[in-house]
Every structure is written in C-alpha cells, then in structure tokens.
Amino acid sequence: MLDGGTEYDIIRDKFRALDVAFPSAREASIAFQSLSPDREPRRGGATKELHAAGSTLSVRWTAEEARILRVSVGSFLDHLALVLETMIEFGPPVAQ
C-alpha cells in the first residue's frame, strides 16, 4: 500500500510551470500586478512564483503534495480567466 510519504517523495521539489502569452508586454504586466498581491494560503507547503517577461506571464509552482498543487493551479486558472475576461470587456489599456 502506498502511504502519504510515497506521494510526497514523488512530487517534492519538482515544479510545475505555465506560460501565458499576452498580446503585449503591457497586458502581461497588468495581469502580473493583478495576480501577484495575494499570498498563497500557507498550509500545505505550496509556493507559487509569478514573473512577467515581455508579453509572457510565467508561473512556477512547488508543492509537497499533489493534492495541494492541484488546488493551487486550479484556483490560479480561475483567477487568470477572470482577469482575462475583465481585460477583454473593459480594455484595451489606456495609453500610459
């Protein structure tokens, strides 16, 4: 029987990453600033790092448990979708 430790060993220290392409660096930066402020809930040992480079928003996760990783990725995708919808409906960004 697999115990909790087995899953832990498989996943630990491995990261999952996601790149999201935006029409321009401006939109990527807006998404980055909208999505970064809220910290990941501390329980479960998941960390999430966001970076915006050019028109790409990159996310990298580390997690000690697959379950926690799934929750974190799932909620990030929900948040990202809401930001994108807001951009489509209330954008494009005004000239800086």
Partner 1 sequence: MTVVIGFEGSANKIGVGIVRDGEVLSNPRRTYITPPGQGFLPSETAKHHRSVILTVLREALQQAGLKPADIDCVAYTKGPGMGAPLVTVALVARTVAQLWGKPLLGVNHCIGHIEMGRLITHANNPTVLYVSGGNTQVIAYSERRYRIFGETLDIAVGNCLDRFARVIKISNDPSPGYNIEQMAKRGSKYVELPYTVKGMDVSFSGILSYIEEAAHKMLSSGQCTAEDLCFSLQETLFAMLVEITERAMAHCNSQEVLIVGGVGCNLRLQEMMGVMCKERGARLFATDERFCIDNGVMIAQAGWEMFRSGHVTELSDSWITQRYRTDEVEVTWRD
Question: Given the complex with partner 1, which of 15 and 50 has the nearer CB atom?
Answer: 50
* CB 65 within 8 Å of CB 44: yes
Interface map 50-89 toward partner 1 (x if CB under 8 A): ----------------------------xx--xx-xxx-x
CB 55 within 8 A of CB 22: yes
Query: Binding of partner 1 at residue 38 (CB under 8 A)?
Result: yes
Exactly one of 17, 37, 42, 43 binds partner 1 (CB under 8 A); that residue is 37
Q: How far is 3 from 17, CA to CA, in rounded Å?
A: 26
